[in-house]
Amino acid sequence: MYTKRTNIVLEDKLINEAKKLTSLKTKKEVVELALRELVSRLKRKKLLTGRHKGLWEGNLSDLR
């Protein structure tokens, strides 16, 4: 896994709330969790809206 150092401005209130809700200790952990959750959610959304090609080809009526 590659990492990259970056500087970002974060809202303290939001970070502190996320730390309390998740029991995470650092801002880095909170940001990484948020990014993982965002990517996961967007991948699921993409699959559900049918914008991802090549996963399944067939006739849904045949399955019913």
6-59 per-position pLDDT tens digit: 999 999 999 999 999 999 999 999 999 999 999 999 999 888 877 556 666 778
Token readout for 42 is: 């967007």
The pTM is what? 0.70
Q: Which amino acid is at 62?
A: D
Predicted pLDDT of residue 54? 62
Q: Which amino acid is at 3?
A: T
